[in-house]
Amino acid sequence: MYDYLVVGSGLYGAVFAREMENAGKRCLVLEKRDHIGGNIYTEEVDGIHVHKYGAHIFHTSNEEVWKYINKYAEFNNYINSPVAVYGDELYNLPFNMNTFSKLWGIRTPAEAKAKIAEQIADLHITDPQNLEEQALSLVGRDVYEKLIKGYTEKQWGRDCKDLPAFIIKRLPLRFTYNNNYFNDVYQGIPKGGYTQIIEKLLENVDVMTETDFFEYRREHDNFKKIVFTGMIDEYFDYRLGHLEYRTVRFETERVEDASYQGNAVVNYTAKEVPYTRIIEHKHFEPELEAEKPKDYTIISREYSTEWKPGIEPYYPVNDEKNSKLYEAYRELAEKEENVIFGGRLGQYKYYDMDKVIDAALAAARKELGK
């Protein structure tokens, strides 16, 4: 008899199982895919760690979480500094003095602030009615037209004028020449990829891959409690309706060139380019390249697409309709005895990795009465 049946071998399930096993509880982890790791899974292809389910950059200001994850991998000093391509122009991200200098040929923060304020004032938008007006009223025309409009329309599959204003609450503008995308204290990529983290977390834990929970449950009752990190609406057999997602399709290819784009992350902000980003995986681990340069590379083009049942769900849609529906499922979940709903699908929430670790540690502590 297992103390816990953990559904899903992603970061949430693996951290929870590790903590419970350390405390002497027995866990069985079920994973419907043919590999462990959930969405942080990286696959080694010709010596390059390919982020199979999208680029993952670890960043946090939570010292406890940083220390925790460092027990399971050594991190490099990768700093995420994406660039944006618009036509044949190239800009640094996040929006900072490098971006503004390239856009307007200016040098000082005062000049950049004046330029943005002048563009915002020219538009006379007092009560933004949609995402376009909201973004224009925050950053002015140039940044919006070149760096926000096309990218956002591809992400959502809709015109910015047809998207609600609340999607964009703030657009951080940085008036220094700092291209570090994240403001967190700690940042990096695990040397050797992410999969090893999950392998180490699940050391000596019973794991069954290619096993769907719903099928397993029909024939087994060898567990006392369930930790469910799959889709909450699926758990309840969609009885209140389907929650919606946006998803991403990846087209991955090997290119016979030492470097395709010179950076791990390049955003394509023009509407005419069908993909939103190209990820070049080898640049996440420059130390490997320094040790043994390769004359080939692996890239993934990301296409933002509509989600349908059966396709991999990625981003929850936090609009009113879906938030209400999730709330109704959450109420059902609260009444479900001996089941903990966790992780990004179990809680229908966009969760960065550090937040997932923090939540799984908190759930384990609660279970152990700490």
Residues with catalytic roles: 170, 174, 246, 277, 302, 350, 352
Cβ burial 30-51 (10 Å sphere, 16+ → b, else e): bbbbeebbbbbbbbeeeebbbb
Residue numbers 87-116 binding ligand FDA by CB under 6 A: none
Cα 343 to Cα 65: distance, rounded to the nearest angstrom = 16
Min. distance of Cβ 22 from ligand FDA in angstroms?
18
Nearer to ligand FDA, 100 or 235 (CB): 235
Which one of 19, 21, 31, 132 is in contact with ligand FDA (CB under 6 A)?
31
Helical (H) or strand (E) element with 268: strand 265-268
Which one of 111, 142, 206, 212 is in contact with ligand FDA (CB under 6 A)?
212
Using the rule CB under 6 A, is 344 a contact of ligand FDA?
Answer: yes
The alpha carbon torsion through 312, 318, 320, 324 (nearest 10 deg) reads 70
Can you name the residues that pair with 45 across neighbouring β-strands? 48
Which one of 33, 191, 217, 249 is in contact with ligand FDA (CB under 6 A)?
33
- 258 and 48 in contact (C-beta within 8 Å)? no
State the number of binding residues for ligand FDA (CB under 6 A).
34
Nearer to ligand FDA, 5 or 168 (CB): 5
Sequence-ordered list of residues with C-beta below 8 angstroms from that of 175, at least 6 positions apart, any chain: 96, 97, 109, 112, 113
Min. distance of Cβ 267 from ligand FDA in angstroms?
14
Region binding ligand FDA by CB under 6 A among candidate stretches 70-78, 85-93, 265-273, 338-346? 338-346
Residue numbers 147-186 binding ligand FDA by CB under 6 A: none
Helical (H) or strand (E) element with 334: helix 320-335
Where does residue 22 fall: left (phi above 0), alpha (psi -120 to 50 degrees), or beta otherwise? alpha
Nearer to ligand FDA, 39 or 267 (CB): 39
Kindly write out the interface string for residues 51-90 of this chain, putting x where it contacts ligand FDA by CB under 6 A and - elsewhere. ---xxxxx--------------------------------
Nearer to ligand FDA, 36 or 173 (CB): 36
Min. distance of Cβ 41 from ligand FDA in angstroms?
8
Using the rule CB under 6 A, is 248 a contact of ligand FDA?
Answer: yes
Q: Is 345 helix (H, G, I), strand (E, B) or coil?
A: helix
Pairing of strands 315-316, 206-208: unpaired
Helical (H) or strand (E) element with 234: helix 232-235
Region binding ligand FDA by CB under 6 A among candidate stretches 3-11, 196-204, 277-285, 316-324? 3-11
**How many Cβ atoms sit within 10 Å of the Cβ of residue 342?**
24
Min. distance of Cβ 358 from ligand FDA in angstroms?
11
Nearer to ligand FDA, 84 or 116 (CB): 84
Using the rule CB under 6 A, is 214 a contact of ligand FDA?
Answer: yes
- 42 and 19 in contact (C-beta within 8 Å)? no
Q: Is 362 helix (H, G, I), strand (E, B) or coil?
A: helix
**Nearest CA-CA partner of 234 in 250, 215, 251, 253:** 215
Min. distance of Cβ 202 from ligand FDA in angstroms?
12
Min. distance of Cβ 231 from ligand FDA in angstroms?
6
- Binding footprint of ligand FDA on the chain (CB under 6 A): 7-13, 30-33, 38-40, 54-58, 212-214, 229-230, 248, 314, 343-345, 351-354, 356
